[in-house]
Each structure stands twice: as C-alpha cells, then as structure tokens.
Amino acid sequence: MTTIAELLSTSPELAGLTSEQIEAVAECGTKLGVETGEYLFREGEPADSFFIIERGSVALELHAPTRGHLVIETLERNEIVGWSWLFAPYRWQFDGRAAEPTDLASFDGARVRALCEGDHELGYQLMSRFTAVVLGRLQATRVQLLDVYGRADIA
C-alpha cells in the first residue's frame, strides 16, 4: 500500500521536494477512499484541504441553472485536486465529485499553511509547485475557451 509520503514524492506536480519537506507535509495527510458520485467538496464550502489522487479520478463540476452539472475538468492519478485552501477566503469554487471509485490522500490545508508560515523555504517550494499547477490548468482552460473544435465556415 502506498504511503502518503510515497504519494507526495511520486506526484510529478510536486517533484523535487526534499525528503524532510515530504515528511513534514505527509504528517498533515490522511488516506481517503470515496465511491463513484461521492462529493469531496462543494462550491462555496470552506476549502480546508487539498488532495492527491492515488487511484481513480475526480470531476470538477459547476452547476448552472437550466444546464445542470457541467464537468469542467477531470483530474487523474498523481494529480493535485484543489488550491482554494491556499488563498483567502478559502472557499471551494467548484464541486469535486469522484467519477469512479477513488483513493486519495487528503491534506489539512490549515496545518500545511501553518507549516509554510514556520518554514518559509517549504512555503516557497510548495507555492512554486502549486503556482505551476495553477498556471498549467489556466493555460489549458484558455485553450478550452478558444473552442478550437467549433465551426469555422471555410468551405
């Protein structure tokens, strides 16, 4: 069974943390299993944690009146779920639903923030990696917004 520290060290999005940093963050984590359709969080609720997926996938959803639940993105094995815990007002912006039976590590956001306050090097390293995650997903979202597969009346 994969330990939380192993999960942290094998996530490409967190690659390069020292073993001490990994151990410190792992102390803030617990393992979690959710069934298909179970919600990890819902829009507007306090964002007090983040997750790394060990197995399965999580759909980020938005509910729009008359359109129902729209899946914005799915996140998969080894990927980070959630960055709202890092930034005030610490509220989830989307719903997070298990798209299939999913195992994750869940990390206490307040404890990790406190760790970062006490160890600015760890804070910098974590912030760099989460910023890269945010940047990658922002760029992907921009391409998504281009609607590149939409109709182009050419011929």
> Least distance from C-beta 34 to other proteins, angstroms?
15
Q: Which residues sit at the interface with other proteins, rule CB under 8 A?
A: 12, 57, 59, 61, 68-74, 76-77, 97, 99-100, 140, 143-144, 146-155
CA distance 75 to 22: 22
Residue 55 CB partners (closer than 8 Å, separation 6+): 77, 101, 102, 103
Q: How far is the CB of 29 from other proteins (least distance, A)?
A: 23
Residue 80 CB, nearest approach to other proteins (Å): 12
Contacts of 49 (CB under 8 A, 6+ apart): 41, 82, 85, 106, 107, 108, 109
126: three-class secondary structure by DSSP = helix
- CB 43, min distance to other proteins, A: 14
- H/E stretch holding 122: helix 120-145
